[in-house]
Homo-oligomer: A and B are copies of this chain.
């Protein structure tokens, strides 16, 4: 027992595809470290993924196991972290429904993340109700586990704000501090670009390196990486900014002095793309090989992985049921007890 309570982290992923190096750099790596310091819930957010994948539910459900494999492959330890399948925790749906009364439609539409997603998807007024309200569903996930810390990108800050608004509104309504406000934990790591130089690595854009990538796939991806289009001859000075190879070295080469040296060399000329890419290739092969192997190992024992998910989900249900019981108690909804 320590004097300060152990932080509770809620994080997770929509299950729409296997994870890639962008996830590894941006979140997975940190989760592996954090599982020793905090109580960590990792949500396989299939219900949330359904909100904008109507008619593509097989994609969502078929990737639950894939993402779980990615978690286990990178070193998430089910004895330390709780891996939860969202759809299998009915308490989250109940809490969602109660929170839904505490926010107006206008407020949801002002959420910048939703506004941006509406724009990107061309939804306008045809936005599905489940999609408009998914920040409330997220708030239910966060508060059900009484999470104190939620790792997010800065585009997700409005979600945390909305969650804390709901927490305050609920506690004020029932006159008791039942739910707990959370703190956003901003990633310290720059977002990993796609292989093609686009700002975001994404499987659907075809510019990703997945965590199960074969040696060949890695080499091909590295060779295809966008560098400096004006760096035509080895001896020309090259540009480091916007150069995908350096973005990857920044993310995955622990020897920062070496990376600084390489950047200086590249800038002044004399370091060719081929040599540079060979170095990155070696680094990525070394990084991914054990992940790929562990992933394949777990993939061979599907029943064992399902068992891990079942046990994690049961543990999560206990925590969520406790919160829901407090919520329903505060609202006077526990007719059949006492």
Contacts and interface: CB of A to CB of B under 8 A. Distances in A.
A331 B97 contact: no
A126 B42 CA distance: 34
B103 A54 contact: no
A82 to B, nearest CB: 16
A265 interface: no
Interface string A247-273: 000000000000000000000000000
Given A85-B335, A88-B335, A333-B46, A127 B105 contact: yes
Contact of A309 (B62, B313, B335): B335
A58 interface: yes
A206 interface: no
A98 interface: yes
Interface string A154-181: 0000000000000000000110000000
Contacts of A91: 90
A245 B61 CA distance: 61
B101 A331 contact: no
Contacts of A335: 61, 64-65, 85, 88, 306, 309
A101 B88 contact: no
Contacts of A52: 101
Contacts of A127: 104-106
B64 A98 contact: no
Interface string A124-138: 011111111100110
A248 to B, nearest CB: 34
A219 interface: no
Contact of A101 (B58, B102, B128, B174): B128
A50 interface: yes
Given A93-B93, A173-B55, A336 B98 contact: no
Nearest to A309: B335
Interface string A289-316: 0000000000000000010011001000
Nearest to A333: B87
A35 interface: no
A333 B50 CA distance: 11
A100 B331 contact: no
B85 A105 contact: no
A173 B54 contact: yes
A180 B131 CA distance: 25
A254 B96 CA distance: 48
A276 interface: no
Contacts of A220: none
Given A85-B335, A173-B57, A335-B309, A103 B128 contact: yes
A233 interface: no
A328 interface: yes
Contacts of A16: none
Given A87-B328, A93-B93, 5 more contacts: A57-B173, A61-B332, A61-B333, A104-B127, A105-B132
